[in-house]
Amino acid sequence: MAFHYPNGRRFVQAAQKPIARPLKQMSYSNRGKTLEDDLNDSNEYYLANGIAVIHKKPVPIQIVDVHYPQRSAAVIKEAYFKQASTTDYNGVYKGRYIDFEAKETKSPTSFPLKNFHEHQIEHMNHVVNQAGIAFVIMRFTAVEETYLMKSGTLAYYWERMLSGGRKSITKDEVKESSLKVPLGFQPRIDYIKVIDTFI
């Protein structure tokens, strides 16, 4: 369709020069998702396909003060943790109780033990003592690598720290003492496949 000005002249759009933009290296491997997002997606896949029933544990919070700026909206102004939380996820797979913590670090060379708490180590030890499966899923975000470390191995490094040793686990130690979790599409983090190798 042709457009004309009021004086009868035809409107011709000027050719636009393409805008030069610097080339950016793009990575589509994770698209900004956190380890927790990936695990939640993986757990939904496991549930939908009848593989396992594993959920993120709710955080026990005591709400103290709530304001109602509108009748249909509530704003929590003050809340406290009721108790120290244990681990992030639990559920059941092939009749076995599963319990694990998920942590990530930006460091490409080591995993800081300050990411864990004494009560979490104790909790995982209790789970294993009752024939459950307890572990930690660690992600090195700088290199997009994810590992599954059994709770007994984590306890070893924890005790080493308490005895005056390193306050972190080196990347080489993680690689040697853990199982690498392959990243995929569905599920994103197939840690069940890794569990199958040791149960």
Q: What is the mean pLDDT of residues 39-52?
A: 97
| Mean pLDDT, residues 38-53 taken together | 97
| 16 compared with 89, residue with greater pLDDT | 89
Residue 73 half-sphere exposure toward CB, CA atoms < 13 A? 4
Quick one: pLDDT at residue 22? 47
User: Is there a binding annotation on residue 41?
Assistant: no
Report whether 141 belongs to an annotated binding site.
no
Higher pLDDT, 126 or 15: 126
31: phi > 0 → left, psi -120 to 50 → alpha, else beta; which? Answer: left
**Cα separation, 189 vs 39, whole angstroms:** 6
Supply the pTM of this predicted model.
Answer: 0.74
Residues 6+ apart with CB under 8 A from 26: none
Q: What topology does CATH give the domain 35-56+85-195? A: Trna Endonuclease; Chain: A, domain 1 (3.40.1350)
Query: What pLDDT, on the 0 to 100 scale, is given for residue 24?
Result: 39
Considering only CA atoms, which of 115, 190, 182, 181 is closest in space to residue 154? 115
For the chain, the average pLDDT equals 84
Of residues 60 and 31, more confidence is placed in 60
Residue-wise pLDDT tens digits, 95-120: 999 999 999 999 999 999 998 999 99
Burial class (CB in 10 A: 0-12, 13-18, 19+), 78: exposed
> Domain limits of the chain?
35-56+85-195
The pLDDT tens digits for 129-187 are: 999 999 999 999 999 999 999 999 999 999 999 999 999 999 999 999 999 998 898 89
The answer to whether 88 is annotated as binding is yes
Percent of the chain with pLDDT over 90: 63
Tell whether 38 is in a known binding site.
no
